[in-house]
């Protein structure tokens, strides 16, 4: 029996699924298809065992802002989190995977790692685990194993793997001939017809010692900064924070470019079951349940004389109506709406870039902001006031804090709040309110067993989230908007 350490990469921003996926809360943590988030489904896929393989607790690499989301979502689906490595900044997949290998080797010199993105859709978890088991003998022979998806269309949005021979349907490992960049339509059709090309899934299986050796051979410049970032890491509430200074010196490069395209010991496990990276709204439409006119509808949506379209409303109070749409995407959020033809699905990133250029908040941030204690959403915002709806989870507490530029009025609408304002501590129940003067040291807590909901009215000359000074915080977030 071989024990495999899953390594889930969960730091991406998923801009191609804007406006649902944004930098402040990317697609892997949302319920795009099904009742679980993509991250939760990915973690469940690599848990349990086959007759030949057992999966250990998942190691997760993510951004500081998502560290509590990661552990909370794992616990929600009954998975005990393994090490959670916090990347000080995104440096692409090569440094992240090297850091995971070095960290895993500290605990087990013989560690075998399965590295996978957190945002793929693979409905048949059993078939995927069996495919992983097929790759284990090649790993024991010293190979680096990648997984290739049997193509069902001439896709131009994926890179390809050219195999040394055509798959025979047995799932047996096949030597890799070469990596192929995203092709044009003509080449994609030729590769589909050839039968010896698979989509590159970006999923890898290897021994930690072998991938580290591959870095030593093909990308030696990454070893020193990444090793230093791991060796100088520190524990923060159970999370492993990689050291930021050496990490910043690591090259921003993918694992394919840094190692895989240069290595000569690569093998491929063909995977013929359903798979999608949900890399565009067109892919979401393809993976969704549709009506008799091939329309996929989510939320309060009405489709009239529409065909082949995706209509999605993420606000129960916002009715999205489509009339006479054909092959269209319409995604409505409380603060942004996307309307595009499906043929432009790969170009959504251009919209995000355009919004960033005009400094629009919607480019990266939601009206709803997730925090370890719960979440808040902005209901109204003007020059000198802001109204928020704040939800605090049972037993959770915001930091003890003060503001330089704003005062706050709190009205509890559900549950009970324990409120600290300077030296006074009191319970505030439904329909009661309290005033927090500018500069007052304050905190709100939820001592109850149900979520506590309040309306906050801020007034002042500056209402930014970075106007905060923390004095105590159970989540050890430090200073700054999120810490």
Q: How far is it, in rounded angstroms, from Cα 26 to Cα 73?
A: 14
87: closest CA among 146, 205, 8, 204?
8
Q: Are 94 and 73 contained in the same domain?
A: yes
Whether residue 29 is contained in a domain is answered as yes
Residue 295 belongs to domain spanning: 281-345
Residue where a domain stops, chosen among 271, 292, 320:
271
The predicted-structure confidence for 19-71, as pLDDT tens digits, reads as follows: 999 988 899 999 888 889 999 999 999 998 888 899 999 999 999 889 999 99
Quick one: 72 and 218 in the same domain? yes
Q: Residue 58's domain is classified under what CATH number?
A: 3.90.550.10
The percentage of residues in the chain with a pLDDT greater than 90, rounded to a whole number, is 84
Clarify whether residues 241 and 297 are in a common domain.
Answer: no
For residues 334 and 400, membership in a common domain is answered with no
Q: Are residues 249 and 157 in the same domain?
A: yes
Pair (450, 373) in one structural domain: yes
Residue 353 lies in a domain: no
Q: What's the CATH number where 455 sits?
A: 2.60.120.10
User: Which whole number is the average pLDDT over 108-124?
Assistant: 95
Q: How confident is the model at residue 481 (pLDDT cuts 50, 70, 90)?
A: low
Domain assignment present for 363? no
Confidence at residue 465, expressed as pLDDT on a 0 to 100 scale: 87
Q: Are 208 and 227 in contact (CB under 8 A)?
A: no
* 168 and 246 part of one domain: yes
Of how many residues is the chain composed? 483
Q: b/e string for 153-164 if b means 16 or more Cβ within 10 A?
A: ebbebbebbbbe
196 occurs within a structural domain: yes
Q: Are residues 308 and 334 in the same domain?
A: yes
Asked if residue 272 lies in contact with residue 168, where contact means CB atoms within 8 angstroms, the answer is: no
DSSP string of 189-249, one letter each residue = HHHHHHS-EEEEEEEEEEEHHHHHHHHHHH-HHHHHHHHHHHHT-EEETTEEE--HHHHHT
198 located within any domain: yes
Same domain flag for 321 and 391: no
Give a yes or no: residue 352 inside a domain: no
Question: Is the entire prediction scored with pTM above 0.85?
Answer: yes
Instruction: Say if residue 482's pLDDT is above 70.
Output: no
Q: Which of 315, 282, 283 is nearest to 298 (CA)?
A: 315
Judge whether 398 lies within some domain: yes
- Residue 97: closest CA among 189, 230, 193, 195: 230
Q: How many domains does the chain have?
A: 3
Instruction: Check whether residue 135 and residue 261 sit in a common domain.
Output: yes
């Amino acid at each position: 029996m071989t024990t495999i350490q899953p390594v889930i990469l969960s730091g991406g921003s998923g801009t191609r699924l804007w406006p649902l996926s944004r930098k402040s809360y990317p697609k892997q943590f949302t319920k795009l298809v099904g009742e679980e988030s993509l991250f939760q489904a990915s973690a469940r896929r690599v848990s349990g065992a086959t007759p030949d393989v057992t999966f250990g607790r998942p190691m997760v690499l993510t951004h500081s802002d998502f560290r509590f989301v990661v552990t909370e979502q794992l616990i929600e689906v009954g998975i005990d989190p393994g090490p959670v490595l916090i990347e000080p900044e995104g440096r692409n997949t090569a440094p992240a995977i090297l850091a995971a290998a070095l960290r895993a080797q500290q605990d087990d010199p013989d560690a075998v790692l399965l590295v996978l993105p957190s945002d793929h859709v693979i409905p048949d978890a059993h078939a995927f685990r069996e495919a992983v088991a097929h790759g284990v003998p090649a790993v024991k022979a010293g190979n680096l194993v990648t997984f290739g998806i049997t193509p069902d269309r001439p896709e131009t949005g994926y890179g390809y793997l050219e195999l040394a021979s055509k798959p025979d349907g047995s799932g047996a490992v096949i030597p890799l001939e070469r990596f192929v960049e995203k092709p044009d339509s003509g080449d994609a059709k030729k590769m589909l017809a050839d039968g010896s090309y698979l989509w590159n899934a970006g999923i890898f299986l290897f021994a930690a010692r072998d991938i580290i050796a591959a870095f030593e051979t093909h990308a030696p410049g990454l070893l020193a900064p990444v090793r230093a970032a791991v060796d100088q890491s520190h524990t923060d509430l159970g999370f492993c924070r990689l050291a930021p200074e050496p990490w910043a010196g690591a090259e921003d490069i993918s694992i394919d470019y840094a190692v895989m395209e240069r290595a000569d010991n690569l093998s491929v496990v063909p995977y013929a079951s359903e798979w999608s990276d949900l890399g565009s709204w067109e892919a979401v439409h393809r993976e969704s349940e549709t009506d008799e006119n091939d329309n996929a509808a989510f939320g309060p949506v009405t489709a009239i004389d529409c065909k082949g379209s995706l209509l999605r409303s993420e606000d129960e109070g916002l009715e999205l109506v489509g009339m006479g749409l054909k092959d269209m995407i319409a995604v409505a959020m409380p603060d942004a709406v996307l309307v595009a033809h499906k043929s432009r699905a790969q170009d959504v990133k251009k919209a995000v870039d355009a919004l960033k250029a005009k400094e629009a908040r919607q480019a990266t941030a939601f009206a709803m902001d997730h925090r370890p204690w719960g979440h808040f959403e902005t209901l109204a915002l003007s020059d000198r006031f802001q109204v928020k709806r704040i939800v605090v989870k049972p037993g959770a507490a915001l930091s003890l804090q003060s503001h330089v530029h704003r005062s706050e009025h709190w009205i509890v609408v559900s549950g009970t709040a324990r409120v600290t304002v300077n030296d006074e501590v009191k319970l505030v129940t439904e329909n009661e309110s309290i005033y927090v003067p500018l500069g007052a040291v304050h905190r709100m807590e939820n001592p109850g067993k149900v979520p506590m909901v309040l309306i906050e009215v801020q007034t002042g000359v500056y209402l930014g989230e970075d106007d905060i000074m923390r004095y105590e915080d159970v989540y050890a977030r430090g200073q700054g908007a999120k810490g």
